[in-house]
Amino acid sequence: MQELLGRIARLDPSASLGLRVIACFDELIVGNVNTRALLSAAASLAGCTAGFEQDSPTRRARVTPRGQLLTAADAARPVSDEVSWPVATAEGLSVWLEREGDALPNDAIILERLALAVRIRHGRARSTADQRRDLALLVDGAVPVEDRLAAAGALGLNGSREYRIVAAPLFAVWENHPSGPEDVVPTVHGPIHVLVLSEGDGLELVRASPAGTGVAALPRELHHSFRTAMVSLRLCDPPRLPSVRADEFGGLISLLADAPEGGHHPDADRLDDLAGHLWAAETFEAVIRSQSIRSAARLAGVHHSTMQARVDTITGALGFDPFDGFGKPRLGTAYLVWRLRRSRVLDLPAPPAPGAAPA
């Protein structure tokens, strides 16, 4: 599929995203994900709410691009024949995209693949089609541990063996795809492709961009591996940093994973004051990874006097010396929080401009 994407992009750059839509839904169909996850994928790909309606028994669902299931109290889909939203109907099932304004070029193919996936899903006549699947239960810390262990058993996981969660957006490009339990899980950041790998088995095969790999954990604690995988994913910066492993940051990644989203962090706030300097990010990393001004200068490729001036500027802005006492872990934590706040890795890539060379 990736080879095909490359060939088509060279012939028609505007077709590349359409093929990614096809590849995405093909993977979802093979994974037999539920209707909500299919709608989450369509909404994320289209950037607008996606809906589903079934004639018999009567059911309706609408999901936002963030994976939020809308309630009956929210505005409903128009029922007139003059509805302006793109609609696809087949075998008593309807799906649609709630686009404001004219339809975009890829709306038709998203609807086509969504309709196909929904038809296949409901053709299996499951009575619990929209219940959360085992993997979604496994990585949800709010689910009782007994239910998480039951989900782990259903997935064939060994309760005394450690595993890792790999998290990637639906538009991730996989150079190699290891085998293991996988599904699409709704999150506050939108639908995420989740893969479970046994510790020490296949991790070197995880070559995807972007992708985050969580810490190793027993099945009862895989919800923590999932949270660290999500933090790792958000720290990615393709093409410079296409994938991140949680182990690189030790205990800091666990602190970030357990911290409330959008929590107050004064040191990270102060880093914003330094962000205007072109040298800011590379200097933060050099200082965090070094034990002295000179070693930081060598790592950043600048004269030690230049690095000293930069560190003086950082010290003045933050109010502490990053080379003194707890200064290093303080700067490291602030820098990671700052990167998470600025992360755009989960934003859907824009389709190539007509005539642009393929990436």
Distance CA 171, CA 209 (A): 9
**Whether residue 110 is found in the same domain as residue 162:** no
The pLDDT value given to residue 83 = 42
Give yes or no for a contact between 180 and 222, defined as CB atoms under 8 angstroms apart.
Answer: no
Beta-carbon-side half-sphere exposure of residue 108 (alpha carbons within 13 Å)? 3
Compute the C-alpha angle 68/133/151, nearest 5°: 130
Compute the C-alpha angle 191/212/289, nearest 5°: 145
**Whether residue 104 is found in the same domain as residue 41:** yes
Q: Which residues of 74-101 are buried (b: 16+ CB within 10 A; e: fewer)?
A: eeebeeeeeeebbebeeeebbbbbbbee
CATH number of the domain that residue 50 is part of: 3.30.450
Q: Which residues 6+ apart lie within 8 Å of 195 measured at CB?
A: 165, 166, 167, 168, 178, 180, 181, 182
Query: What is the pLDDT tens value at each position of the chain, 359 positions in all?
Result: 455 455 555 555 555 567 678 778 877 887 778 889 899 989 988 889 999 988 877 888 999 998 888 876 565 554 434 444 767 676 678 899 998 888 887 888 888 889 888 888 876 434 333 334 688 899 999 999 999 999 999 889 998 999 999 999 888 888 877 878 888 888 888 888 899 999 876 667 678 889 999 999 999 999 999 999 999 999 999 988 999 999 998 888 998 998 887 778 888 888 988 888 889 889 998 999 899 999 999 998 999 999 999 999 999 998 999 999 898 889 999 999 999 988 989 886 654 444 444 44
Q: Angle, to 10 degrees, between the axis of helix 222-234 and the axis of helix 251-258? A: 100
Whether 352 is in a domain gets the answer: no
Whether 93 is in a domain gets the answer: yes
Last residue of a domain, one of 238, 258, 278: 258
The widest CA-to-CA distance across the chain, in whole angstroms, is: 74
Last residue of a domain, one of 199, 226, 258: 258
Structural domains in the chain (count): 3
Whether 318 is in a domain gets the answer: yes
Last residue of a domain, one of 226, 258, 290: 258
The pLDDT value given to residue 349 = 62
Whether 168 is in a domain gets the answer: yes
Closest listed residue to residue 270, CA positions, set 191, 330, 347: 330
Indicate the DSSP class of residue 181.
-
Other CB atoms within 10 Å distance of the CB of residue 299: 17
Domain that holds residue 112: 2-122
Whether 355 is in a domain gets the answer: no
